[in-house]
Structure formats: C-alpha cells, structure tokens
Amino acid sequence: DTEVTQTPKHLVMGMTNKKSLKCEQHMGHRAMYWYKQKAKKPPELMFVYSYEKLSINESVPSRFSPECPNSSLLNLHLHALQPEDSALYLCASSLNRVQPQHFGDGTRLSIL
Amino acid sequence: GQQLNQSPQSMFIQEGEDVSMNCTSSSIFNTWLWYKQDPGEGPVLLIALYKAGELTSNGRLTAQFGITRKDSFLNISASIPSDVGIYFCAGSQGAQKLVFGQGTRLTINP
C-alpha cells in the first residue's frame, strides 16, 4: 500500500464535464507533484508544488488546473478535456525538493 | 532536453536467473533513483543513490551510482515471478524535476 492516496481510482468523463482528482499524504512532505503517464511510457511531469506554492508548471494546457489547499492535499481540476488527455494521472510527494519522490497508485482517466 | 538512455527495453528470462539493466546520460546527476511499476499501480521506489560510486542493496536488488555521475545500473539476483514489471531509472539534479528513462519491461518464464 502506498502512503500517497489518490481518488478516484478510475474516472470516465465527457469532454464538457468538470471533475477533480484528489491526492493526499500525511508523511509531512512539503513538495507535491502531478504527473501524466501514457501506456508503456515513463511519467511526464505536469506541476510541482513546494510549500503549497506552485513552483513548476511544465507548460500544461489551462484545461488542467492544480490546487494545493494545504500541505497534505493536492487537487487537479479538469475541464473541457480532450480524448488525448486519457491517461494515468499520478501524484507524488517528497520531503523536500532533493529527497526521493513517492508515488500514489494514480487515477485512470478516460475521456469520451 | 535531458534524456536518460535505459537498456534493455525488455527482457525475457527464466525464473532464478540474474537480471541487469542500466541507464546512461550525457548529463551529470546528483541523485539516481530506481522505481518498479506494476500494472494498475504507481511507481514504487526501490533504491535511492546519492553519491558517485555508491553501491546500495535492497534484498536481492543492488544498484550503483556511476563514478562519472552519468550512469547507474540495477541488478536483480535469483529472479522470482513477482519481479515482473517495468523498471524505471530516474535522475535528479536537485531541482525537483526527475528525468526518467524509458523503462525496462521484465518478463519471467516460470
């Protein structure tokens, strides 16, 4: 079992829907990450939050909107997604920016 | 951008055999990490390496941080069925970003 918890595990949504992915950790980690992973590919970094502030945005389209309400929670708000956005979305956390990242099990997202 | 060349891309071995995979880069990294990912799950950290030349073991797994800081290898001894999965190397230069290799898919014939 991972110590980074992601919900939901699976999500199917239409292109006009609005939904949110949630990530939670209680390890006291101060850096949290969102990744997108396509089948048979490595994870691709989307966003990094450090001490609840957005520190890296890897030129992600605005239809993906991250939010870090507190040091334990990370959300990814989704709106008007495209079929090519179907993927596994992984959350990760680390104690600080130089410590290893620990991943959750991801949300499998399918866009109809 | 930075790239990690991970090889082999896939391996088909018999149970009980030893496994070796490696990652190389043209860039220097401060940290090397090895992850394993099972279907439907997120990557799980296996070994973290922080110093050039460091050799670290975790059970049947052994990994080394290359002297030049541009490469790392992972060995698995006496493979068992639960070793099946995709192994990723990842390098960090301390700026929160990880650079991942393309992965090594390990298949084991019982």
pLDDT tens digits, A28-52: 999 999 999 999 999 999 999 999 9
- Please report, as a single letter, which amino acid is at residue A55: S
Instruction: Mention every residue, 6+ apart, whose C-beta is less than 8 A from residue A83.
Output: A15, A111, A112
- Which residue out of A47, A89, A105, A110 would a mutagenesis test of the B interface target, given it has the greatest number of B Cβ atoms within 10 Å? A105
- Return all residues near A4 (Cβ < 8 A) that are at least 6 apart: A23, A24, A25, A91, A92, A93, A102, A103, A104, B42
**CA dihedral of residues A85, A109, A70, B35 (deg, nearest 10):** -90
CB pairs under 8 A between A and B: 57
- Structure confidence at residue A2 as a pLDDT band (50, 70, 90): low
- Amino acid at residue number A35: Y
- Output the pLDDT for position B50: 93
Check: CB of residue B75 under 8 Å from CB of residue B55: no
pLDDT beneath 50, residues of chain B: none
- pLDDT at site A85: 97
| Surface of A (64-103) touching B: CB under 8 A | 90, 92, 97-98, 100-103
Alpha carbons within 13 A on the beta-carbon side of B101: 33
What pLDDT score does A31 carry? 94
Rounded to the nearest angstrom, the gap between the alpha carbon of residue B75 and the centroid of all alpha carbons in its chain is: 8
Q: Is B9 on the interface with A (CB under 8 A)?
A: no
Residues 6+ apart with CB under 8 A from B56: B47, B48, B49, B62, B63, B64
Give the burial class of A29: count Cβ atoms within 10 A of its Cβ; 0-12 exposed, 13-18 middle, 19 or more buried: buried
| pLDDT tens-digit readout, A50-109 | 999 999 999 999 999 999 999 999 999 999 999 999 999 999 999 987 889 999 999 999
Query: Do residues B71 and B5 lie in contact, with contact meaning Cβ atoms separated by under 8 Å?
Result: no
Cβ-contact B96, B107 below 8 angstroms:
no
CA of B102 vs chain A CAs: smallest distance (Å): 6
Residue A1 pLDDT exceeds 60: no
Q: Is A45 on the interface with B (CB under 8 A)?
A: yes
Q: Say how far residue B109 (Cα) sits from the centre of its chain.
A: 21
